[in-house]
Structure 1
Amino acid sequence: MDFRKIDNLSVDCVVLRLEENTLKVLLRKRALNLYDENSPVIDDWVLPGHYVLKSNNLGETANRVFKELTGEDHLNKNQFRTYGNAARIKSDKDLLWVRSRGAKVRTITVAYYLIVASNKDLLDMDDSLKWFKLKSLPQLGFDHHQIINDAYEDIKGKIITDPLIFDFMPIKFTLNELQMAFESILDVELDNRNFRKKVSSKSYIVPLEEKQKGVSKKPSRLYMFSKDVYNQVVETDYIINK
């Protein structure tokens, strides 16, 4: 394997999850202090990513990032956009960071997003990694704010017709949890009765002979998403109506 990097081609990864019905994104701390009064101090956040190795393609590079975070090889990643504007790296901090890494100022970035289930823990969540609310992001490097917004818009555009919502869910979930997930991501309020009627008609949302455990109120029935059934009966109508 050729471990040399292509120094003007990178992959950035938007990792998203729902936590207490709030959409969050995973960011990595970016810090650099050259103790030079002519050089800016870098202390902000960026998306997890890597430069592409000469022996890797784009998908393999994204897999490398996601495996470092999740420990899994085969994930349902989504490539959604490429960023190659000549002026995308222009601030003093960004220029210093790129040069400190021996990379090119003109860099093309291919962006992927990965949805992590609400009950899944990531590997090695040290101080350099942190979940932030999508609506309350810290100071970000490069054009990563735009990349995050574009990932979110892509998800909102697909989540009604594609089964992306189930990537946010634990394997077993209640209809109420599913509805709250839709409402949180789309920032809408859905009619409970209509939602349940619509969802109950979908053969790939499978009712189980199980109910919630450890809840103080009356436990609700649990359901699972069947990808096999979905692939057999994939439809053109929406899972929900906005």
Structure 2
Amino acid sequence: MDFRKLDNVSVNCIIFGLGSDGLYVLLQKRTLNMFRDDFPIIDDWIITGERAFISKTLEESANTIFKSITNLSEFNRIQFRTYGNSSSLKTDKDLLWVKSHGLKVQSMTIAYYFVQPKKSATLTTDQFKWFSIKSLPDLGFDHYDIINDAHEDVKKKIMVEPVIFDFLPYKFTLNELQIAFEAVLNIELDNRNFRKKALKKIYIVPLNETKKGNAKKPSKLYAFSRDVYDKVTEKESMINF
């Protein structure tokens, strides 16, 4: 394999995770201290990214980044936008970071996002940390805008594609499905109306299993059937709220 990388093309991976208390994004710590008064100290967070490999496709490069961070081998990857790096250099810190890493100022970034249950990812290093989408730290470059763009794309896609099920374990309750929609869309849904409409979706398949919890009555478990979904000739909105 050719391990050389393109010097003007990078791949950024926005990693979303659904927790019990909302939607999270995984960020990488960015630190640099040149120990000179005329250079700023860098201590903030960024979206994880790497220059694209010459011998790999962009998708393969994104997969490599994601797997190296989370240890996950099964996932859904969505490319949503391309950015020009020259417009992302917001501060002197950004410019210093780029130059110190031997990167070109004039380059482009292809952005992907991945979604999964937050607890399913086993982080391989303490350089990464989950942050609530509602409470992001100081970010380098234009990464706040990129995260916002990715979030907006997720919100659109979960209404017309089965992306929401990637946020959930294979077996889930209808309450967990509702919480997933509410967390990603940042809205509140009527429980009775949601359950009624969800049960009409033939690709949300009831299982002969229940999940025990704090409630007196165990909750029935369901699974998403990709085979059934693919056979539906007229695709409707995932949930008509």
Q: Shorter-chain TM-score: which interval? A: over 0.9
CA distances 1:114-134 after superposition (whole Å, capped 9, x unpaired): 00124413232x331100011
Amino acid at match of 2:187: V
Higher helix proportion (structure 1 or 2) = 2
Are 1:184 and 2:166 matched, yes or no? no
Equivalence for 1:156: 155
In 2, Cα distance between the equivalents of 1:7 and 1:95?
16
Counterpart CA distance in 2 for 1:234 and 1:82 is 32
Structure 2 residue 35 is matched with structure 1 residue 35: yes
Change (3 A) 1:120 1:138: same
Aligned partner letter, 2:45: W
> Secondary structure at 1:77's aligned position in 2?
strand
Q: Which amino acid aligns with 1:25?
A: V
Name the structure 2 match of 1:45: 45
How many residues align structurally?
241
Q: 1:75 to 1:234 in 2, by over 3 A?
A: farther
Q: 1:192-227 CA deviation, whole Å, 9 max, x = no partner?
A: 222112111111111011111243532110101111
Deviation at 1:158, TM superposition (A): 1.2
Shifted more, 216-225 versus 135-144: the winner is 216-225
Taking every aligned residue pair, what percent have the same amino acid on both sides?
Answer: 55
1:59 corresponds in structure 2 to: 59
1:130 matched to 2:129? The reply is yes
Q: Which moved more, 1:184-193 or 1:25-34?
A: 184-193
Instruction: Give me the CA root mean square deviation.
Output: 1.5
Letter in 2 for 1:121: A
State the secondary structure of the residue aligned to 2:217: coil
**Structure 2 runs not aligned, ≥5 long:** none
How far the C-alpha of 1:231 sits from its partner, in A, is: 1.0
TM-score (norm 2): 0.95
Matches within 5 A, 1:103-142: 103-124=103-124, 126-142=125-141
Q: Check whether the contact 2:117–2:169 (CA below 8 A) recurs between aligned residues.
A: yes
Give the Cα separation in 2 of the matches to 1:87 and 1:183. Answer: 33
* Distance in structure 2 (CA, Å) of the matches to 1:70 and 1:78: 17
| 1:189, distance to aligned residue in structure 2 (A) | 1.9
- What CA distance in whole angstroms lies between the structure 2 residues aligned with 1:73 and 1:5? 23
1:173 matched residue in structure 2: 172
Q: Secondary structure at the match of 1:9?
A: strand
**Residue aligning to 1:218:** 217
Please say if residues 75 and 116 of structure 2, whose CA atoms lie closer than 8 Å, have aligned partners that are also in contact: no
Q: In the aligned structure 2, how far is the partner of 1:169 from the partner of 1:118? A: 9
**Separation of aligned partners in 1, 2:164 and 2:120:** 15
AA of the residue aligned to 1:20: S
| Equivalent pair of 1:118/1:170 in contact (CA under 8 Å) | no
Structure 1: runs of 5 or more not aligned: none
Report deviation, 1:33: 0.4
Cα deviation per residue 1:61-115 (whole Å; 9 max; x = unaligned)?
1011111023244531000000016332241111111111111011200000000
| TM-score normalised by structure 1 residue count | 0.94
How far has the Cα of 1:46 moved from its partner? 0.5
1:190 aligned partner, one-letter code: L
**Aligned-partner Cα distance in 1 for 2:194–2:207:** 19
Instruction: In structure 1, give the amino acid aligned to 2:15.
Output: V
- After TM superposition, the structure 1 stretch with the greater mean CA deviation from structure 2, 192-201 or 166-175, is 192-201
| Corresponding residue for residue 199 of structure 1 | 198
Instruction: Work out the CA distance in 2 between the residues paired with 1:99 and 1:228.
Output: 49
Query: Which range moved further: 209-218 or 2-11?
Result: 209-218
The residue type paired with residue 86 of structure 1 is S
Which residue of the partner structure matches residue 144 of structure 2? 145
2:150 maps to amino acid: A
Q: CA deviation at 1:186?
A: 1.0
Once the 2 structures are TM-superposed, how far is the Cα of residue 239 of structure 1 from its aligned partner?
2.0
Check the 8 A contact 2:30/2:42 in 1, yes or no: yes
